[in-house]
Amino acid sequence: MRKFIDKLVFGLCSLSTVLVLGILFLILIYILLNGITSVNLDFFTQLPKPVGEEGGGMANAILGSAIMVVIATIISVPVSLAAAIYLAEFGRGKIAVITRFMVDVLAGVPSIVIGIFIYTIVVLPMQRFSAIAGALALAMIMVPTLVRATEEAIRLVPQTVKEAGLALGAPYWRVIIEIVLVSAHKAIISGILLAIARVAGETAPLLFTALGNRFFVKVLDRPIASLPVQIYTYAVSPYDDWHRQAWAATFLLVMFVLLINLSVRYVTRNKSS
Amino acid sequence: MDKISPLAETQAINLESNFQGKKRWLMTSAADNGFRQLTKILAILLLGLVITLLISMIYSSRLSISQFGFSFVFSSTWDPVKEVFGALPFIYGTLVSSLIALAFAVPISLGVAVFLTEQCPIKLRPVILTLVELLAAIPSVAYGLWGIFVLVPFMREVVNPVLGKTLGFLPLFQGPAYGIGLLTSGLILAVMIVPITTAISVSSLTAVDPTQREAALALGATRWEATQIMLLNARSGILGGVILGLGRALGETMAVTMVIGNRPEIAASLLAPAYTMASVIANEFAEATYDLYLHALIEIGVLLFILTFIVQGLAQLLIRQITKGTKSNA
Amino acid sequence: MEKNILKEANEVDNKTATKIEIEASSFNFFYGAKQALYNINIKIPEKSITAFIGPSGCGKSTLLRSINRMNDIVIGSRVEGKMLLNEQDIYAKSVDVVALRRRVGMVFQKSTPFPKSIFENVAYGVKINGLAKSRKHLQEIVEQALKQGALWDEVKDRLNDSAMALSGGQQQRLCIARTLAVMPEVILMDEPCSALDPIATEKIEQLIAELREKYTVIIVTHNMQQATRVSDYTGFFLLGKLIEFDETEKIFTRPKEKKTEDYITGRFG
């Protein structure tokens, strides 16, 4: 009887694994099949056509996403690096404990709440939706992930390496920037790439910060299109052609995100021994 | 007697640094202090950010807070036309969809975790774990799209009728089968939180001293009985992972918004359309034409923040316990 | 002269009367491609204490763990030859490993109390093997096991406290009690005292010495003084081979093999 339960339980565990992997492939296959046929040159180069007209592309959305992600990265990386260095190297007292707690809190805040926050402090005063608001929202989402990843990367650098630098007469700040960060650079860059992959797919925080736009945008203080928002708008619309484009855009987005995730994992896989 | 010690000669060499002026200063410990202060300031900035978030949001929902007070949380009337707002339908929707998600995700992810730690060949483990974690990398809006065009029709054509026939006597499963609603949202959320709960369960289980398993086996336990001992050891980490998954489900927006049905009413049936806190904000924010409406929506945001804050805090406490344990074992 | 003959005759009688509990016959063990035990032939008498000694990596722990088939959980492990428990080959296909492990208990180097109460720890093996007929019977078994494990007096008033609160030496005695509760025939001990202080060690050595009345005990140890204090028989292992096996007194005073003598006198360690 005990043997029977033993076999049953482990059978169920294998089944669960098959189920989960099956769902993963199911989702990916649908995205692949529905999207790949619609990804053509038009998709990359054309602007959306007016409602009801077939055709057109998402060139502006792709560009918009790219612009906001780049700006968000530029804003969040220095702040996160500095905070991570502080937490890993200097932080012992109350301030470090509270800061670390706040980073954890920020990590758990739903992205839509961050969108509201940026709305209240950027969009309202500016009286308009803008790309910069969107970028700020994305940056705020990136910060906790970056701080955690970087802090851990810095902590992994052995104490002896730091001591060797100090023993040669280098000031602490140089040891940190030139030796510690350089030793940890692989892990830090992986962290940055993973944060970018995460934030490229975020929709909710952009809904009322960057809003959306049917044209190319050349300035930062106007609403701007983004791939995730465009997917959402098209997906909930009643038009088949827009649905088709939504699949194509999803395919593109998911490919991008998976590619980054898999390559980061591949590159860092030999590190753990 | 006349020997010149080599030491004496070397002492004559100039040990002064070549750095002049600003460069010289950068080599001193004063510069170190400056660096330290700089990083400290930026760290405090983060602290300030979170506090600002809370203050700003509460300020921007003041009209709604002052008008409805506590009854906001308990009122189930959401009528933008009559300018009456209550958050109960959304709280209900958020909690129920998240609980459904947990009900499916927890057993499945525990099953996967046990498979990975007890049955799976060691070389295969990182491969499968990576695949499971890929589920977490897929953006929410992609889940939503898949939900609308794949899961919803499946629920409508296949699952809901079956449920209606077999369990239709329960009020939980009554009502017309639209395919959208609480059950569907719960299912998509379950898929989205499986990677988190699995990953944390796996790391909690691998952190347990393997001699515990051997000691159980040595007493004549079967493999499953020995695994129960391992799970017992890992329980606080696993619980932390489950609560973390709950936190993620509570705040999930896009995938849920696209399949929940957007109806601000509390119904007994899981098959009926519903609404969550995140979804109502996502859907109606841009349409909030007057201030009270906007403030009510932002107040829902505040409630959502408080809810996830409490849940995440609990999860962190539990997870910190096991990571402390592994550090002392290492 | 007459006295000597009589003495020898008595010794021969004793030897043939002693029953062999465990016998390894042409026993080879492989971890994948690497061979860890070479052609082990050993006969361990019942109700005695045998020590396995030898330098690190000589295979003594591997042999120990082969006796309750704990090595089965290592991937790629392979066995050739026979391992007999009471004249039954434990590696035969028809053998139920789970039942085997109830008859051959094991105490590990690092004490491994389960995260349960003291009572629940000792009761664990009894419960899963369905050995207790009633709650009262279970309590009796637990009490007896704790008494045999020389721990009863120290914990009888706090059986429901967590086992993790006990000291290292107490935890190890708890693990021994836990093993005794399922009434095994053989008890295997893998360096049970190496993580303990001298006072705890002494208590456990006393306990082990008393166990020989009822159980066959095999103890792997790094500590040669411990072997002389505690065991009746000693086996010396080197590089996966059994160099010599004999009564402890003979091994340590008049060893037959030079390698044994070298090890015992500390020429290598």
Q: Comparing C-alpha atoms, which of A143, C149, A5 is closest to residue B223?
A: A5
Gap from B2 CA to chain C (nearest CA, Å)? 54
Report d(CA B299, CA B57) in Å as an integer. 8
The answer to whether residues A190 and A268 touch, using CB atoms and an 8 Å cutoff, is yes
Gap from C98 CA to chain A (nearest CA, Å)? 10
Report d(CA A215, CA A213) in Å as an integer. 6
* Mean pLDDT (whole number) for A16-24: 94
Read off φ and ψ for residue C27, nearest 5 degrees.
-90, 120
Q: pLDDT value at position B174?
A: 76
Report d(CA C66, CA C249) in Å as an integer. 26
Token reading at B255 = 């995938």
Half-sphere exposure of B205 toward its Cβ, with a 13 Å CA cutoff? 23
* Mean pLDDT (whole number) for B132-139: 91
Q: Do B251 and A107 touch (CB under 8 A)?
A: no
At C187, which amino acid appears?
I
Q: Let me know if residue A27 belongs to a domain.
A: no
Report d(CA C167, CA C105) in Å as an integer. 22
Q: pLDDT value at position C1?
A: 42
Residue A100 belongs to domain with CATH number: 1.10.3720.10
Token reading at C57 = 């990596």
Residue ranges making up the domain that contains A209: 41-272
The answer, for B328 touching chain C at a CB cutoff of 8 Å, is no
Residue A165 has pLDDT above 80, yes or no: no
Q: pLDDT value at position B161?
A: 80
DSSP for B117-167 reads: IIIS-GGGHHHHHHHHHHHHHS-HHHHHHHIIIIIHHHIIIIIHHHHHHHH
Q: pLDDT value at position A250?
A: 92
Q: What is the DSSP letter of A48?
A: B
Report d(CA A16, CA C130) in Å as an integer. 30
* Mean pLDDT (whole number) for C176-198: 91
Report d(CA A23, CA B198) in Å as an integer. 15
Q: Do B209 and C99 touch (CB under 8 A)?
A: no
Q: Which positions in chain C have a beta carbon within 8 angstroms of at least one beta carbon in chain B?
A: 68, 70, 73, 75, 98-99, 101-102, 105-106, 108, 110, 112, 114-116, 124-125, 128-129, 175, 178-179, 182
Q: Let me know if residue A32 belongs to a domain.
A: no
Q: Let me know if residue A239 belongs to a domain.
A: yes
* pLDDT tens profile B246-294: 998 999 999 999 998 888 888 878 888 889 999 999 988 888 888 888 8
Report d(CA C229, CA C209) in Å as an integer. 9
As beta bridge partners, residue C218 has: C50, C188
Token reading at B116 = 């990975």
User: Which chain A residues are within 8 Å of C128, Cβ to Cβ?
Assistant: 2
Q: pLDDT value at position B21?
A: 56
* pLDDT tens profile B16-40: 555 555 555 666 666 677 777 777 7
Note the Cα C226 to chain centre separation in Å: 14
Q: What's the Cα-to-Cα distance from B102 to each of A152, B135, B152, B256, C81, rounded to whole Å?
A: 30, 16, 20, 15, 52
* Mean pLDDT (whole number) for B299-314: 90
* Mean pLDDT (whole number) for B122-134: 90
Q: Global pTM?
A: 0.81
Q: Among C68, C99, C114, whose Cβ lies nearest the Cβ of B218?
A: C68
* pLDDT tens profile B160-193: 888 877 877 777 777 777 888 889 999 999 999 9
In which order are the strands placed within the sheet that holds C77-85?
A: C34-45, C20-31, C77-85, C88-89
At A50, which amino acid appears?
P
The answer to whether residues C159 and C119 touch, using CB atoms and an 8 Å cutoff, is yes
- Of chain C, the end-to-end C-alpha distance in Å amounts to 42
In which order are the strands placed within the sheet that holds C104-107?
A: C104-107, C186-190, C216-220, C49-53, C233-238, C241-247
- Of chain B, the end-to-end C-alpha distance in Å amounts to 60
- Which has more confidence, C247 or B179? C247
Q: What CATH number does the domain located at B67-329 have?
A: 1.10.3720.10
Q: Residue A98 — very low, low, confident or very high, per pLDDT cuts 50/70/90?
A: confident
Q: Comparing C-alpha atoms, which of B282, B274, B271 is closest to residue B304?
A: B282
Which stretches does DSSP call E strand in C103-225?
A: 104-107, 186-190, 216-220
Residue burial B283-313, b: 16+ Cβ < 10 Å; e: rest? bbbeebeeebbbbbbbbbbbbbbebbbebbe
Q: pLDDT value at position B13?
A: 46
Q: pLDDT value at position B23?
A: 58
Q: Do A111 and B258 touch (CB under 8 A)?
A: no
Whether this model's ipTM surpasses 0.95 comes out as no
Residue A181 has pLDDT above 90, yes or no: no
Q: What is the DSSP letter of A179?
A: I
The answer, for A94 touching chain C at a CB cutoff of 8 Å, is no
Gap from B212 CA to chain C (nearest CA, Å)? 6
Q: pLDDT value at position B322?
A: 62
Q: Residue B138 — very low, low, confident or very high, per pLDDT cuts 50/70/90?
A: very high
Question: What's the structural domain count of chain A?
Answer: 1
The answer to whether residues A96 and A87 touch, using CB atoms and an 8 Å cutoff, is yes
- Which has more confidence, B294 or B41? B294
Read off φ and ψ for residue A198, nearest 5 degrees.
-65, -45
Q: Is B261 helix (H, G, I), strand (E, B) or coil?
A: strand
Report the run of H or E that residue C27 belongs to, with start and end: strand C20-31
Minimal-distance CA residue of chain C relative to B228 = C114
Q: How many CB atoms lie within 10 A of CB A255?
A: 16
Q: Residue A266 — very low, low, confident or very high, per pLDDT cuts 50/70/90?
A: confident
User: Which chain C residues are within 8 Å of A2, Cβ to Cβ?
Assistant: 98, 128
Q: Residue C230 — very low, low, confident or very high, per pLDDT cuts 50/70/90?
A: very high
Which stretches does DSSP call E strand in chain A?
A: none
Gap from B242 CA to chain C (nearest CA, Å)? 21
* pLDDT tens profile C44-53: 998 999 999 9
Read off φ and ψ for residue A22, nearest 5 degrees.
-60, -45
Q: Residue C10 — very low, low, confident or very high, per pLDDT cuts 50/70/90?
A: very low
Q: pLDDT value at position B180?
A: 85
As beta bridge partners, residue C242 has: C237
Q: Residue C160 — very low, low, confident or very high, per pLDDT cuts 50/70/90?
A: very high
Gap from C129 CA to chain A (nearest CA, Å)? 9
Residue C231 has pLDDT above 70, yes or no: yes
Q: What is the DSSP letter of B264?
A: -
The answer, for A92 touching chain C at a CB cutoff of 8 Å, is no
CB pairs under 8 A between A and B: 263
Q: Residue B94 — very low, low, confident or very high, per pLDDT cuts 50/70/90?
A: very high
Q: pLDDT value at position C14?
A: 42
Q: Which positions in chain C have a beta carbon within 8 angstroms of at least one beta carbon in chain A?
A: 98, 128
